[in-house]
Amino acid sequence: MLSARDQELIVAASEAIKGRYRNDWQEVGAALRTRDGRIYTGVNLDAYLGRMAVCAEAVALGRAVTETGETGIETIVAVRHPEPGDKDQAIVVVSPCGSCRELIWDYDRNARVIVPSSNGPAVAGIGELLPNKYSRERTL
Ligand SMILES: [Zn+2]
């Protein structure tokens, strides 16, 4: 079961993408709570040149770091808005992509991540989502 604080983050991410949804351009919303308790949201930035696209989680983290400095990520979640014509019109929790898993880990190795599961949204540690993370150090 998610806590009320976790549900609050899902609502914040959902509201962010509801307000900015544009088919093929802004489809994912994210919300994170910093270690000092502030909530930041973001939406993804798709781009004509695909490699320039930025995930919603990175936008939310960028806002947090810009506005308050690096305060760590207590919990983060991303949600996807349905496309026009989708049978199921619900906004749903989605897993962070591999790049975002790296990014989240880099900013907080103990971050909690709300991910989809067969029983609805659940919490996983970023370390569980990123086993054997790449490191520049030669430690095993
Ligand atoms: Zn991503």
Query: Could you give the CA distance from residue 15 to residue 91 in angstroms, rounded to a whole number?
Result: 10
Active site residue 74: no
Beta-bridge mates of residue 45? 54
Long-range CB pairs of 85-91 (<8 Å, 24+ gap) are 91/14, 91/17, 91/18, 91/29
Pairing of strands 92-94, 73-80: antiparallel
User: What pLDDT, on the 0 to 100 scale, is given for residue 29?
Assistant: 98
Segment 22-42, tens digit of pLDDT? 999 999 999 999 999 999 999
Check residue 65 and give its pLDDT.
97
Ligand 1 center–CA 131 separation, angstroms: 17
The Cα 63–Cα 12 span in angstroms is 14
| Tally of helices (H runs) and strands (E runs) in the chain | 4, 6
pLDDT score of 105: 96
Is the predicted pLDDT of residue 140 greater than 70, yes or no?
A: no
* Phi, psi dihedral angles at 103 (to 5 degrees): -65, -45
pLDDT digits (tens, 9 = 90+) for 91-104: 999 999 999 999 99
* Distance in angstroms (rounded) separating the CA atoms of residues 95 and 132: 18
Indicate the pTM of the whole model.
0.94
More confident residue, 139 or 90: 90
Ion ligand 1: residues, CB < 5 A = 55, 97, 100
Q: Give the model's confidence band at 125: pLDDT under 50 very low, under 70 low, under 90 confident, else very high.
A: very high
- Catalytic hit among 8, 15, 27, 57: 57
Report CA(113)–ligand 1 centroid distance (Å). 13
Structure tokens at 19: 């307000």
**pLDDT computed for residue 9 by the predictor:** 98
